Amino acid sequence: MVRLISHNLLACHAKGCTSNNFPLQFKDVTVELREQESNPDFLKNIMPRLEWKALVGAARQLGDTSLPEEMPEMLDDEFLKNLHHVLFEIHVEEGAMVCPNCQHVYPILNGIPNMLLAEHEIS
Amino acid sequence: MIPTPDLSHLKQEDYLSIYEPAEDTFVLLDALEQDADEIKSLRPLICLEVGSGSGCVSGFIGSILGPYNSLFLTTDINPHASLCTLRTGRQNKIPLEPLTAHLVTPLLPRLHHSVDILIFNPPYVPTYDSEAIDAQSQGDIRGAWAGGKDGMQVTDLLLEQVDDLLSDKGRFYLVAVKQNDIAGIQARMLQTYNLLSEVVLQRRAGREHLFVIRIHR
């Protein structure tokens, strides 16, 4: 299941595509919501690794506006609940991710993104 | 004794195209189990398995660490393997995040110095170079074992990225056989990247002399 935590770690790696290749833009997606037990300690520890603007943008693409534009200083329960939901409970099942720079399309099938490139696209 | 993940959801048809866990898988599981207490005390945030196949090994790491304490990323060049990994995660209630990808390419640069546990049971069997190249590009079952010259063709590609991937406390568990030149791998990682390593487990299984090497800063 590709969730937004993974999406936040994926960049386009087509030949020559080295700038403006993150984050990938969702296209024609089918989404499922699935509950998962929350771990606030994990959330607090993973926050420094997140690209915040990319996460907020991706969440909004998928219809979730619960996260603030800027990463907050104070991490209250409400915020952690929303963060947990955005990172772990929104499953992109079908659709695609498109590179904003070179337009390469990475399909998502059965919840799994296919990040493979064709021969001519490999550096 | 941590139980091996339940793979009963996988059938013979699945094993036509994905690697069925064998002695090399089990020596890796045993090595991870041996290190279980240390791995837990590391409190890893991000675990990444390259070449996840059935998902057995990542499922096992999930059992060691608990399902919600880490992110379990996996890659495999074979889309069917990624799907099997996803199903293995569900069967064992460990949330695995499979990606169909060649090694780790789409995850760099974002995972620079970020991987706490990196695992790779590579295609390590020495074969003709062309057989290895072909196997990887087809993404089929041969890609699970065909390793080209000295069985290191694919492993070498990942070894070049280990220093980039590993966090300060990160550990890389690599499966290898004698023909891969274990001491050579260890020397190269030290000389080129200043990475230390130990053989944590070795075992003879049939014609193979298997090793699990643990590499770290």
Quick one: what percent of chain A has pLDDT higher than 70?
Answer: 98
What does the pLDDT look like over A93-111, one tens digit per residue?
Answer: 999 999 999 999 999 999 9
Could you tell me what percentage of chain A is helix, strand and coil, using 3-state DSSP and rounding each to the nearest 5?
35, 25, 45
Tokens of B57: 């090994």
**pLDDT given at position A109:** 96
Quick one: what percent of chain A has pLDDT higher than 90?
Answer: 90
As a whole number, the mean pLDDT across chain B is 95
Mean pLDDT over B19-30 rounds to 96
Distance CA B24, CA B215 (A): 18
Mean pLDDT over B62-66 rounds to 97
Please judge whether A37 and B83 are an interchain contact, meaning their C-beta atoms are less than 8 angstroms apart.
no
pLDDT at B142 > cutoff 90: no
Mean pLDDT over A41-67 rounds to 97
As a whole number, the mean pLDDT across chain A is 95
**pLDDT given at position B137:** 80
Mean pLDDT over B97-109 rounds to 96
Q: What DSSP state is assigned to residue B43?
A: -
Distance CA B196, CA A87 (A): 34
Q: How many other CB atoms are found less than 10 A from the CB of residue A20?
A: 10
**pLDDT given at position A123:** 54
Please judge whether A5 and B71 are an interchain contact, meaning their C-beta atoms are less than 8 angstroms apart.
yes
**pLDDT given at position B34:** 98
Instruction: Please confirm whether the linkage preceding B98 is cis (ω < 30° from 0).
Output: no
Distance CA B193, CA B37 (A): 27
What does the pLDDT look like over B188-199, one tens digit per residue?
Answer: 999 999 999 999
What does the pLDDT look like over B105-130, one tens digit per residue?
Answer: 999 999 999 999 999 999 999 988 88
Of B86, B102, B109, the CB nearest to A116: B102
Return the residue in A8, A9, A49 with the most chain B beta carbons within 10 A, the one to mutate for interface testing: A9
**pLDDT given at position B208:** 94
Higher pLDDT, B194 or B136: B194
**pLDDT given at position A121:** 72
Distance CA B77, CA A61 (A): 28
Mean pLDDT over B97-101 rounds to 97
**pLDDT given at position A120:** 72
Chain B closest-CA separation from residue A66 CA (Å): 22
Q: CA dist A114 to A36, B41, B104, B117, B210, Å?
A: 24, 34, 13, 23, 32
**pLDDT given at position A23:** 97
Of A10, A51, A88, the CB nearest to B107: A10
Mean pLDDT over B175-186 rounds to 97
Q: Which residues of A touch B137 (CB under 8 A)?
A: 119
For chains A and B, count residue pairs whose Cβ atoms are closer than 8 Å: 79
Of A2, A3, A9, the CB nearest to B111: A9
